[in-house]
Amino acid sequence: MKCRTCGRPAVINMRQHKLALCADHYLDWFVRQTERTIRKYRMFTPEERILVAVSGGKDSLALWDVLLRLGYHADGLYIDLGIDAGLDYSHQSRSKAEAFAAAHPETRLIIVDIPATYGESIPQVAARTLRGRQRPCSVCGLVKRHEMNRVALEEGYDVLATGHNLDDEVAVLFGNTMQWKVGYLRRQGPVLPADAQGLARKVKPLCRFYERETAAYALLRGIDYIYDECPFSKGATSLRYKALLAQMEHRSPGAKLHFYIHFLKAREEGLFCPEEQTRPPMHPCERCGQPTTAPGLCAFCRLWVRKEEAGG
Ligand code: Q46
Ligand code: ZN
Ligand code: ZN
């Protein structure tokens, strides 16, 4: 297989694009495609300040790297969840994010240490609030969303960028479609606009890349990232969906990309009625000020109030 641009041996063949490229031309292609996605969905401008949520994995570090190469003002945010579960996961992933930041002195890495700040790790909060009924992911997602939004607003960033790739987006889309979760479907997309009531704009500049494409970018750029997934991701429904979607992709290259893009198009054409007509009114949380539908405290603050009431 030869590079379509220069004829040298290709390192990657993207069947869905009928495109094989050598390392140099693949890296160029990846950067150009990211810029196209940023422009197409009007994610941000060169003047805006971007906060990249970095987990230490390939996608978020690849995103941070590509935004810096494109000349954007992009800083990183790492949230230390205190997840170790015998695998030292948080410690290792944090050290990958720190090493990347140390090699890019023009940027800044903000670290929020959940156990140090709130007195409990994610597995501990989950054990106390869910009483072992479920995996800690619902609590983890809630804490991450709250903290990302808090830091973006407090530190004056215009936009929060996450490294979700196409495989992630399609698995979520598939799950939401299977259960017709209209509220989630309405909000799923490359851009979630800022909310006047205190939610930062969220963007996903890698949403059109397959997972193997972001992995190839990270490898070819020599980015040192954590290979292991969070130990709590094992057995997640989204992984089953990913396996199913991989079978479809194998038979029809491009199936995932088409599913996602046609969904976005249908949504744009009015598949769902506008959110303003259906979303319940939001109020600022009495404690942290972030918008919430419940009167009083938001779900994040309720997590800790229960701990304080119990004298923790
Ligand atoms: S980090 Fe958190 Fe994920 Fe781990 S505990 Fe679940 S949600 S699996 S992206
Ligand atoms: Zn080439
Ligand atoms: Zn709150």
Chain position carrying tokens 């600022």: 284
Residues 240, 245: Cα–Cα separation, whole Å: 9
With contact defined as beta carbons under 8 Å apart, do 109 and 78 qualify? yes
Residues 153, 202: Cα–Cα separation, whole Å: 12
Residues 16, 249: Cα–Cα separation, whole Å: 9
Return the C-alpha torsion angle 83, 300, 132, 177, nearest 10. Answer: -90
Nearest residue CA, atom 1 of ligand 1?
Answer: 230
Domain map of the chain by residue range?
Answer: 32-269, 280-312
Backbone torsion region of residue 295, taken as left when φ is above 0, otherwise alpha when ψ lies between -120 and 50, otherwise beta = beta
Read off the pTM: 0.94
Rounded to 5 degrees, φ, ψ at 162 are -120, 160
CATH superfamily of 32-269: HUPs (3.40.50.620)
In this predicted structure, the answer to whether residue 195 has a pLDDT above a threshold of 80 is no
In this predicted structure, the answer to whether residue 85 has a pLDDT above a threshold of 70 is no
Lining residues, ligand 1, CB within 6 Å: 83, 122, 136-137, 140-141, 230, 232-233
Residues 252, 122: Cα–Cα separation, whole Å: 40
Mean pLDDT of the chain: 93
SS3 state at 78: strand
Q: Which two three-digit tokens encode residue 109?
A: 């890495």
SS3 state at 192: strand
- How far, in Å, from the CA of 166 to the mean position of ligand 1? 18
- How far, in Å, from the CA of 13 to the mean position of ligand 1? 31
Nearest residue CA, atom 6 of ligand 1?
Answer: 137
pLDDT digits (tens, 9 = 90+) for 87-136: 689 999 999 999 999 999 999 999 999 999 999 999 999 998 887 667 89
pLDDT digits (tens, 9 = 90+) for 267-309: 989 888 776 666 778 889 999 999 898 889 999 999 998 777 7
Count CA within 13 A, CB hemisphere, residue 221. Answer: 26
